[in-house]
Amino acid sequence: MLIESLNPATGEIIGQVESTAVNQIGRIVSEARIAQSEWNAMPLNSRGQLLRKFGELLLSRRKIVAELMSRENGKPVVEAYTSEIIPALDFVKYYTGKSRKIVRRRRVKIGIPLLKTKKAFVRYEPLGVVGIISPWNYPLMLPLGQIIPALMAGNSVIFKPSEFTPLVGGLIGDFMWEVGIPKRVFSIVQGGAEVGAALVSSGLDKLFFTGSTVTGRRVSEAAAKTLTPVSLELGSKDAMIVLADADIDSAASGAIWGAFMNAGQTCVSVERCFVDEKIAGQFIEVLRKKTAALRTGAGTESGTDIGAIIHKAQYDIIRRHISDATSKGARIVSGAEYTEEGGRHFVKPTILADVPMDCLLMKEETFGPVLPVVEFKTEREAIELVNASKFGLSASIWTADSKHGLEIACKVRAGAVTVNDVISYYGISDGVVGGVRESGTGRVHGREGLLEMVSPKYYEVERAPRMKKLWWYRYDDALLSFFETATDFLFFKDIFRKAGSLFKLAPKILRIRKS
């Protein structure tokens, strides 16, 4: 069966790929497991060298990649660079440069005196076969943020791109194989939900899923049947708090970019904006003026700011959320203009004020170029409004007092909180991305992202193998008395009781007999 890739800005077919047969998934996993042993046996530096070549190839063909992403995803070409290519290249640089230090063997210090004859250490070993199911909104950056550390750690990877961006996904595979990474070490399966479901139940050693909370829940339930560990990056309703002392112009610019970038189809986009009532009127007016200057159109056209909506289903969700909000009293400040013809779907960047908290726009992920603004009276109220959401991926605080901003950030329930900026942290290789509550589990990027790809294994060597241990059989009153006194010595803080128990230990140990 062929999967057709459509340009969301024009509706035209730009390419086709063959869908992977569901009955082939088991074989692909088995072959990946065999290949993983040889891949892991390769020195880490050698794996890094191949991945650096992948980065060099991506860099040399960046214009081709950017153009394809714009045509297949709908985003402006400039965003293909800023939010995809540049972060992806930095992932390569980061993980090929720092993985050895992060996963090197770690010596374990043993604190209990009776166990000092042991030498122990922890090694971080690859999981085996890692599955990565990635979405359409960032078809390069999102998967490579997991693929690169997975391969560096010595795993084999089976990657399923979104059926809406199969060409970009396929290009990742082409580049990997061209630089010499074996096809069984890095495999691609193409297809829709049925292929994803087969991969989830195929016996992977770990699965990484990025997508909606609804689908993530189903993935987690299916993976539980085989006890497959799952890392989930799911939906969100990211909030922005604008305090009265914030720079209004800067905060407004951050708000509209954070809400409208990639046509709002971003998991960490600003989907709720809470503004101090003292500046709300002025802030909304600045938002209106800045939004009026934005141009909606095909991402491949020069000067386009807001690209197409990926497909009709997402377009319908956006319209429904706006309609629901206005029916409950929300006021349209700008936008709420729609284009749907010939497979093309566009939504003009939309700002709404006086938005009630019980509407879909404030409760469910919209994933579109829509910015609802809500006024608050006190900081406590703002924090309570932010934390009322079932989601918790990221948030931002805007204030002239960065120290105070960090104090508020500590009270916000989210996986990441920024002060006076939005979204950009996602592209920082040494940062950490992940949600709480219904926004998911697990972490990507940075040290934590690499540690998600390995299993810590404990090793211990007894350096006095002929010595019989005091806690071995047989148990008697002498042994009990010794360990009662040893417990006092080890854990009492009072120096006199500690010294007294030490004085009693010597004669007690002489009464112990081991068989």
The set of catalytic residues is 233, 267
How far, in Å, CA of 360 to CA of 169, rounded?
32
For 315, residues 6+ apart whose C-beta sits below 8 A from its C-beta are 309, 338, 340, 345, 347, 368
Q: Do residues 66 and 81 make contact, with C-beta atoms less than 8 angstroms apart?
A: yes
How far, in Å, CA of 70 to CA of 8, rounded?
9
Q: Do residues 463 and 117 make contact, with C-beta atoms less than 8 angstroms apart?
A: yes
Strand partners, 132: 159, 208
How far, in Å, CA of 150 to CA of 493, rounded?
46
Measured between alpha carbons, how far is residue 327 from residues 133, 226, 367, 492 in Å?
37, 45, 20, 67
Distance of CA 44 to the CA centre of its chain: 24
| Count of C-beta atoms within a 10 Å radius of residue 234 | 25
Per DSSP bridges, beta strands 106-108 and 13-18 are unpaired
**Residue 415 token pair:** 């996986």
Per DSSP bridges, beta strands 239-242 and 230-233 are unpaired
Dihedral of alpha carbons 116, 119, 122, 126, sign: negative
For 383, residues 6+ apart whose C-beta sits below 8 A from its C-beta are 241, 408, 411, 412
What are the DSSP E strand ranges found in 364-507?
Answer: 370-376, 394-398, 416-419, 440-441, 454-462
**Residue 257 token pair:** 């970019």
Peptide bond into 217 cis (omega under 30): no
**Residue 25 token pair:** 């998934």
